[in-house]
A and B are shown apart, each in its own frame.
Chain A
């Protein structure tokens, strides 16, 4: 009897070993020659050693026609399961390009859908590793329907658990909308592409000749379209970055983001800010340097660094607590808010709000970008997203005005009026309704026109205006800021404000959904 049992076990285990070889050695070699890891190697590298549990390895396609019926497709071209990353439970799926190009068929799709469902129900993040030639054409409606099933699940899972897409090969056609419906997308240099139609179809239909790289390579999506959140240099770098990103995120929307014992003192003086921030508001500086001086150990995980770099967004820690940082960068486009940076910033604010990550807002903003191009780009519609996202967010919101905080830009970078819990201003802060020079030209137009020395009068009036209305004492006297602080004490001030805000309760009015501008 027991021999029979042993034989049954052996048959199953032999088959399991065979399936794990994927598309076979020649296909694996080819994958390696392209500089890519295999689907299983990626999972092994991403997850803590020995923690991965696979399910549905025996899934088999039900294709009846066009030769597919005679084809064996190990694990149906996608590996699914769960395991631990930095000791925390995570669900993963990893498409196997060595198996008929990782094409997306009905069972392949069903496996991914099941993984997303389980991640949502168990309250764990989901990581999707995409490496697929697109829909398996031989499966027709089976593939198309599963795309729809998957999109539906991504949407229903949105805001419940973090969803991260890694583009580690081609992602073509309708499948590109799967990552697009997730929270973050990392792409790998040289080996990854994303487009809704590849070069041959583009040439046939719209008569345009482009390479895969020009159409949807990592640099296009990181710099121009804004589809990608980070470009990584190879598979390992991509997986390392994923582990790093996850270290800032809670497993689901009901948890707090993970506190980590800090290796930096909360009362460390931020001495360098004295040198970094120029007193002259017309001089520029790199806001990255400010962020790195303030946060724990100078560690900052930037999101979309190459897209709309006039606004910096990313994750960091203050005294061990994860925070989302939103900061204007005066080095690029004067740090103004244009339609792209508004789109980038508002999405990030909403993500942080969904996952209980407090927001730290560093303001040096000369306003929303004005002019006919900006209006035509829809700055009113896109700029409104920033206002909406901050006002809607009920996580702790703490703002520092470093220098300029002009007009709508001041409100859109989270002022008290938009619900900031605490606002601090440096002695160099300039909060005002409009740029002081412009205000003086309007207020004293007639006097200046009539003056014998117009320049002299303009300068006098400007000084008077600065003393009365641009001086931080003015905003502090009206309680728009809680305190005017020494730049060297920013870190300590932020940590104290953050720690007192961690139990904040701010109930939103009951409604079905809010209608964020899109």
Chain B
């Protein structure tokens, strides 16, 4: 069991969270929608697992490399 951190690829704003704590996620599933440089983009989970902790909320401004949520992998 290990923890995977989902990080923001760049500065921007969180538009929507597609998952909540405890949800099961599959690799490449979009978990966060964020906006930057005039485009809305999905952030995908690189691993299968369970959402452990969500660290941001919609509307929140995020920095590059900020942790958005954590996923517990099997």
Residues of chain A touching chain B, judged by Cβ–Cβ distance below 8 Å, are 281-282, 284, 330-336, 338, 366-367, 369-374, 435, 437
Contacts and interface: CB of A to CB of B under 8 A. Distances in A.
B11 A373 contact: yes
A371 B39 contact: no
17 contacts: A281-B39, A282-B38, A282-B39, A284-B39, A330-B39, A333-B36, A333-B41, A334-B37, A334-B38, A336-B10, A336-B37, A366-B37, A366-B38, A366-B39, A372-B11, A373-B10, A373-B63
With a 10 A CB-CB cut-off, give which of B10, B37, B40 has the most chain A CB atoms.
B37
Contacts of A331: 41
A372 B41 CA distance: 21
Contacts of A437: 38
Nearest to A435: B38
Contacts of A336: 10, 37
B40 to A, nearest CB: 6
Nearest to A332: B9
A369 B47 CA distance: 27
A371 B9 CA distance: 13
A370 B64 CA distance: 12
Contacts of B11: 371-374
Interface residues of B, number: 11
A333 B37 contact: yes
Given A331-B41, A369-B10, 18 more contacts: A281-B38, A281-B39, A282-B39, A282-B40, A284-B39, A284-B41, A333-B9, A333-B37, A334-B36, A334-B37, A334-B38, A334-B41, A335-B39, A336-B10, A366-B37, A366-B39, A373-B64, A435-B38
A495 B46 CA distance: 39
Nearest 8 interchain pairs by C-beta: A334-B39, A334-B37, A366-B37, A371-B11, A373-B64, A336-B37, A333-B10, A366-B38
A365 to B, nearest CB: 9
Nearest to A370: B37
Interface string B1-45: 000000001110000000000000000000000001111110000
B68 to A, nearest CB: 15
The residue in A284, A334, A335, A338 that gathers the most chain B C-beta atoms within 10 A of its C-beta is: A334
Contacts of A338: 10
Nearest to B40: A282
A292 B49 CA distance: 33
A47 to B, nearest CB: 39
A284 B38 CA distance: 11
A282 B38 CA distance: 7
A367 B36 CA distance: 11
Nearest to A409: B37
Which of B11, B36, B38, B64 gathers most chain A CB within 10 Å? B38
A282 B35 CA distance: 10
Contacts of A370: 37
A410 to B, nearest CB: 14
A280 to B, nearest CB: 10
Contacts of B38: 281-282, 334, 366, 435, 437
Indicate the member of B11, B39, B63 with the most A CB atoms within 10 Å.
B39
Contacts of B9: 332-333
